[in-house]
Amino acid sequence: MEAKRQRILEGKTAWITGASRGIGRAVATILAEAGAEVVLGARSEESLRQAAEVIASAGGKAHAVALDVASWASAEAFAARALEIAGPPAILVNNAGLGIFREVDAMAVEDFDRQIDINLKGPWYMARLAIPHMKRLGGGDIVNIGSIAGTAAFKRGSAYCAAKAGLRAMTEALMHDLREHSIRTTLIAPGSVETGFHRVALPSGHHNDQSWMLEPETIAEAVLHALSAPAGTLVSSYEIRPLGTGK
C-alpha cells in the first residue's frame, strides 16, 4: 500500500461488488489505502479471500463476503454480514459486471437475463440496501461502474449495451432522488480496460495485444477522485477512454 496516500476516507466503510479481480480489486485496494474499511463482494470466494488478505497484509482493513448481485437474497445476506463486521456503508461501488456479445438470434434467453440481472438489477439491489444506512449517516456516495457502451452501442452488444444504458439512466435518476439527502451518485464510464473481461466476452477474434487498454488502477483513481469532490458538490459522470487504438 502507498504510505503517502492521504487517508481522506478514514472512518468510512465501503461496499465494493465484483471485488475479487480487475477494477473492483483495484478500487478496494485504493480505497483501503485512503483509509476506508472495505467489504469486498463477489461470487469467487477464494479469489475474494485472497484479495482481502493482500489488502490486510499491507495494513488495510478488508473483509471478504460472498455475493451474487443477481440474487436479492444474496445481496440481503451480504448487507447483513457487512453491517455486522464493518458497520453502515458511507460508500457503495457497484462494479460487478458481465458481457456476452452475440447477435440476438444467437444468444440464449438465459444469457440476456443474466446480463440484465448483473449489470442493471444488481446495482439497484445494492443501492436499495445501502441507501437507508446512508440516509441515517447523513450522506454517502454511490459510484456505478458503467461503460461507454451505455451511449455508444456496438454490434453484438444488444443486451450489454441496453444494461449499461439503463445503468446510466438509473444513476442520474438516483441523483435526483438522493442529492437532498447529501448522497452523491457518480457514473464512471470507461472504454476498454485490461481486466480479462474481453477474453471472456469475446473468446474468438480477440486481439492478444492489450497494451493500449486502460489499467484497472486508472479507473480506481477516478473513483477516488469522485469521492474526493469538495463538500456540497458531486461528480455526475466520468467517461474515460484510452489514448491508443481501440474503444
For the annotated catalytic residues, the residue numbers are 160
Q: For the chain, how far is it from start to end, CA to CA, in angstroms?
A: 31
CB–CB of 193/6 below 8 Å? no
Torsions phi, psi for 142 (to 5 deg)? -120, 120
* CA 53 – CA 62 distance, rounded (Å): 7
CA angle 222, 233, 237 (to 5 degrees): 40
What cell numbers appear for 54 in the block?
493482500
Look at residues 178, 88, 93 and name the one whose alpha carbon lies nearest to residue 137. 88
Torsions phi, psi for 40 (to 5 deg)? -95, 130
* CA 228 – CA 8 distance, rounded (Å): 8
* CA 48 – CA 20 distance, rounded (Å): 4
Q: How many CB atoms within 10 Å of residue 155?
A: 8
What cell numbers appear for 168 in the block?
446510466
CA atoms within 13 A on the CB side of 18: 24
